[in-house]
Amino acid sequence: MTIINGMLYFAFPDLLIEGNLGGLMVGVPPIVTDGGDDDSLKDDDTSIHIEAIYRFRVNDNISLTPGLFVITNPNHDDVNDTIWVSTFRTQFRF
């Protein structure tokens, strides 16, 4: 059995304003590409995970990071609807 996965992450420091950070992630969740002796274990479709974030630096101690991620063909099945998720993180540094 062969299972692969991978992710590329791109970071853009000081995007638009000094101290802020943009990020883009694109990858494939673990997928069975070869089922070995049991070909029914092989995933026929491919999910893609795409995520984008932007960290706003409010001051030296507080940052806000909204984000959005999308998963196409969840569970490597094109019958499944695309998943959209928004996120929001607040970070306090002391």
pLDDT, one tens digit per residue, over 73-92 is 999 999 999 999 999 999 99
Q: Count how many domains the chain has.
A: 1
How far is CA 63 from its chain centroid? 20
pTM: 0.82
Residue 12: which domain range? 2-92
Q: What are the residue ranges in the chain where pLDDT is below 70?
A: none
Q: How open is the CA angle 5-26-6, to the nearest 5 degrees?
A: 15
